[in-house]
Amino acid sequence: MRKQSIRALCLIAASLTASVCLNAQVLLANGTLTGSRAGAYKDLSGLHYNLENGVSADLLGGMGSALAYVSGDTFVALPDRGPNATPYNSLLDDTVSYIPRFHTVKLKLQPNAGTGLPFTLTTELNDTTLLFAPFPLRYGSGEGVNAPSGEPKPNRPGRHYFSGRSDNYDPDQNSGDPRDARLDPEGIRVSNDGLTVFVSDEYGPYIYQFLRSTGMRIRSFRLPDELFVANPKPTGDSEMAANTSGRTPNKGMEGLAITPDGKTLVGIMQASLIQDAAEGGSSAKLVRIFTVDVFSGKTKHEYAYLLTSGSGVSEITAINDHEFLVDERDGKGLGDGSKAKIKQIFRIDLESAVDVTGMTGTQAAANAVTKTLVIDVVKVLTANGYSAEQIPAKLEGLTFGPDVQYNGNTLHTLWIANDNDFLQDYGGVAGSNPNQYFVFGVTDSELGAVYVPQKHIKAFEW
């Protein structure tokens, strides 16, 4: 049954670092995006060729790895490194030279005069922007991994495209080399002037800044050395075996937030660093958060977050300049052939949090931020008629959108999107696992904080 009332009952948990808030949020709408004017499951990249695994280079999928609000009914949606759920080459973790990109989408809410959820959601893909550097990048030759070169076919002078191929790196450098072509984008936020986007990645990890109009990289942010692996490898297993510190393979900077004033980026790792996990105990559940000054490019602070019951963190988004929502989840649900269990949104406050720069995992874990459960997504969706098998396994995109009026209340809209791993036809069932958007309505009282929207400069809105 749809939750009509807006109320909250908060209970303090026994944990020293977490409290729980059981809210009666409204599920406002649900929608899907399965194609464009180019066709079903086609994006607008114009790439009319097949990748190494036979999959079309313009396949539309994975759009919920990250989602960011721009203005009006415009959002940007980010796929990750490409369709590597399709078996191809285990020596490359099945990755191919898919070009990372972001999509500009129109997601429009309208009051629903009929039955069902309070609002209808219409979706439209308006543009696809490929990510590239203006100078040469390092690509794998394919030698030793039974593959062709990892360089994307559309490369030309002045346009050197990034790629999802896991061997596109310099083996003589650590994983933080900005000349590496490999990019596994997982977080995206828009600058306040609307002219650029910031993208965080799992391979480096990196934070890059791209022109929104063309996709050209214009800036690389240098992250702390503790995040990099000294010996990058083309598979997760070989990389894990070759390193004793740095980000865990395929679990780099999964989430990215930007403060409302546009001055600070906040990146969060998906899981514990290799050196933290090795300590065991609470350190194995430690996820590190980094704040980066946009103007100087320097890392300002480092904070600790402890996983409650999920296997990792997928996203972080700003409520205001010091409070954030964190998406913690497992990998169960639609697309995994199982029942969804843990998809939870927590609030954290960094204002009085302890800076854990230089601390060991155990020390940092002892100074973790306090977290409050704001939305148990599985409970809200099942209360609205969704079975646990219908809830996507990878709910990864998280952003606030425009406020709406509902039942005489002003609600902030919180949008959650899924990464369907480019497998729209899961289990051979056509259209069974589409790109989806779930829209929740929340109040400040339910957030436990005053929401401050990002201060976009309207003169540059598109």
107-125 pLDDT, tens digit per residue, is: 999 999 989 999 999 999 9
pLDDT of residue 310: 78
Containing H/E element for 236? Answer: helix 236-241
User: What's the CA dihedral at 204, 105, 108, 188 to 10 degrees?
Assistant: 20
pLDDT of residue 304: 98
Q: How far is CA 314 from CA 190, 267, 277, in A?
A: 18, 11, 18
Per-residue pLDDT at 20 exceeds 50: no
CA pair distance 92, 149, nearest whole angstrom: 12
pLDDT of residue 11: 33
Per-residue pLDDT at 454 exceeds 70: yes
Domain chopping of the chain, boundaries = 8-196+304-349+372-460
Backbone angles phi, psi at 168, to 5 degrees: -85, 70
pLDDT of residue 277: 97
- Choice between 310 and 297, residue whose per-residue pLDDT is larger: 297
Q: Kindly state the average pLDDT of the residues 209-238.
A: 98
Q: SS3 of 121, please?
A: strand
Per-residue pLDDT at 19 exceeds 50: no
Cα 369 to the center of its chain, rounded Å: 21
Instruction: Give me the amino acid identity at 276.
Output: D
Instruction: Give me the amino acid identity at 82.
Output: G
Q: Kindly state the average pLDDT of the residues 276-281.
A: 97
Share of the chain above pLDDT 90, in %: 91
pLDDT of residue 99: 98
Q: Kindly state the average pLDDT of the residues 339-357.
A: 97
pLDDT of residue 318: 98
CA pair distance 414, 134, nearest whole angstrom: 36
pLDDT of residue 262: 97
pLDDT of residue 456: 78
Q: At which residue do the structure tokens 């490359």 appear?
A: 92
Of the listed ranges 14-23, 71-80, 248-257, 286-295, the one predicted with least confidence: 14-23
126-159 pLDDT, tens digit per residue, is: 999 999 999 999 999 999 999 999 999 999 999 9
Compute the mean pLDDT over every residue in the chain, rounded to the nearest whole number: 93
Per-residue pLDDT at 442 exceeds 60: yes
Q: At which residue do the structure tokens 């480019």 appear?
A: 422
Per-residue pLDDT at 18 exceeds 60: no
Backbone angles phi, psi at 119, to 5 degrees: -130, 155
**Extended strands (E) in 294-322:** 299-306, 312-318
Contact 226, 247 (CB under 8 A): no
75-100 pLDDT, tens digit per residue, is: 999 999 999 998 999 999 999 999 99
Per-residue pLDDT at 338 exceeds 70: yes
Q: Please, which pLDDT band fits residue 328 given cuts at 50, 70 and 90? A: very high
pLDDT of residue 250: 95
